[in-house]
Amino acid sequence: MNQEQLLQLCEVAHNAPSADNSQSWRFIISSNKITITYDTHRVLNKTFAADNIATLLSMGSAIEAIVQTCIEHNISYTLDTTLKLSNNFTSYACFSFDQEVSEKFTLKKDSFLQHRHTNRFAYKTQQAEKNIIDALIATLNASSTTISWFDDKTSINEISSLIQSASEIRFQTPEVHEWLMQSLRFGKRERHEDGLHVSTLDLPPLGSMFMKFIAPWQRTQTLNKLGMYKIMAAIEAKPIAKAPGLMAFSCDNTPEAQLQTGRDLFALWLQLNNAGLAVHPYFVITDQITRLHSNAVPSRLVAQATTLEEQTRKIFNLKEGGNLCMLLRVGYPQKQAVRSKRLNVMDVVTIKD
Ligand SMILES: Cc1cc2nc3c(=O)[nH]c(=O)nc-3n(C[C@H](O)[C@H](O)[C@H](O)COP(=O)(O)O)c2cc1C
């Protein structure tokens, strides 16, 4: 493989989903290898840590994006997913490629891999056919990830209440508020950017002005005293209550299993989009439970977070040591999503040779 081909593979991986579009990866290209690492210098303390479930899901997605491209283009590789999680160097995977790979390989412009995306807008009420969903889930049946599908009103309402409770905690937590606010992008869209542009969100009229207004934590704190967090959480949970279907991903509480779930998440998301179904991820429940375990939930909200965890375990039927990793709202879209941009690929690649 030449450097240009390796760069093209990095570009595909760079299009993987990441929490708040933080793109916390750095791809190191060296002698026919791509190593996927955490970009400590760029993202530390601005988004999830290197060993957080959110990061492992994103990195797993980036790995799977390369795997799927190699399958599509018949490229042989060896993949080492030995996790190295240390303070000064974290790596999630290393791909080694054959020197002999055809010089002719260039990434297909119309590859189905480029169709995966988040759609936060409203969905039609029409439900996805259960046999389509079952067939897609069945393609991953050898994996350590458990995938569950909910399309009955009772479960959907119960899960919507969980989202509402988790969001109430989130909107009262200064650190999470600051991460979200620093990731929001207003104004003209840049060709290359990270973060969440407000046009990709389903905000009501004047919503983006309001988000700008509440960006300083002190303002949010004052408005929270008047109950703003409850309104924000109800708005967040509403699309879930109206969802035609929900897909939950859970796995053992180990970084290896969570990385694998990231791979499965990407693979299924791709298939769902390919079947014409829109996907909207919700990480808020997992985030609040993870924060509870690392004592990061404000003390006055610990009781609410504990109840959230108990109910989550019950509703998702989690076994001992199992974790909910991600929830997807799934349905046929009413309108096309506005796609998130990416940083320039050279901002996330280091070439070592
Ligand atoms: C671990 C993880 C957590 C995410 N959590 C949320 C979420 O809670 N709400 C949301 O709207 N999008 C969420 N997303 C979607 C990302 O914001 C999205 O993937 C990113 O902005 C890039 O956009 P794209 O998926 O359209 O390429 C999450 C994605 C990942 C990988």
Name the more confident of 281 and 109. 281
For 130-331, CATH gives 3.40.109.10
Atom number, ligand 1, closest to the C-alpha of residue 17: 19
Please tell me the least confidently modeled range out of 73-77, 141-145, 291-295: 141-145
Query: Are 326 and 261 spatial neighbours (Cβ–Cβ below 8 Å)?
Result: yes
Distance, in Å, from the CA atom of 263 to the CA atom of 65, rounded to the nearest integer, reads: 8
Tokens encoding 8:
């093209």
Ligand 1 centre distance from Cα of residue 343 (Å): 15
Tokens encoding 13:
């991986």
| pLDDT at position 113 | 85
Please tell me the least confidently modeled range out of 58-62, 136-140, 246-250: 136-140
Ligand 1 centre distance from Cα of residue 196 (Å): 9
Could you tell me the pTM of the whole model?
Answer: 0.97
Half-sphere exposure of 305 toward its Cβ, with a 13 Å CA cutoff? 23
- Spell out the domain ranges in the chain: 3-116+343-351, 130-331
Q: What is the pLDDT of residues 150-195, one digit of tens each?
A: 999 999 999 999 999 999 999 999 999 999 999 999 999 999 999 9
Atom number, ligand 1, closest to the C-alpha of residue 55: 1
Tokens encoding 353:
């040779």
Its CATH architecture, for the domain 3-116+343-351, is: 3-Layer(aba) Sandwich (3.40)
Tokens encoding 52:
């957080």
Average pLDDT of the segment spanning 226-230 = 97
Angle at 162 between CA 158 and CA 168, to 5 degrees: 140
Tokens encoding 110:
């119309």
User: Above 70 in pLDDT, residue 102?
Assistant: no
Q: Do the domains 130-331 and 3-116+343-351 match in fold?
A: yes
Distance, in Å, from the CA atom of 51 to the CA atom of 53, rounded to the nearest integer, reads: 7
User: Above 80 in pLDDT, residue 247?
Assistant: yes
Distance, in Å, from the CA atom of 58 to the CA atom of 51, rounded to the nearest integer, reads: 11
- From 14, 20, 285, mutation site for ligand 1 pocket: most ligand atoms within 8 A of C-beta: 20
- Which runs of consecutive H residues, i.e. helices, occur in the chain? 3-14, 40-43, 53-73, 130-138, 153-170, 174-183, 207-213, 217-225, 228-241, 255-274, 284-293, 302-315
Ligand 1 pocket, residues with Cβ under 6 angstroms: 17-21, 54, 57-58, 61, 117-118, 120, 196, 280-284, 339-340
- The one-letter amino acid code at 139 reads T
One DSSP character per residue, 150-193 reads E-SHHHHHHHHHHHHHHHHHHTT-HHHHHHHHHHEE-SSPPSS-
How many residues in total does the chain contain?
353
Distance, in Å, from the CA atom of 291 to the CA atom of 287, rounded to the nearest integer, reads: 6
Q: What is the mean pLDDT of the chain?
A: 94
* Residue with CA closest to ligand 1 atom 12: 281
Distance of CA 307 to the CA centre of its chain: 24
Distance, in Å, from the CA atom of 331 to the CA atom of 329, rounded to the nearest integer, reads: 7
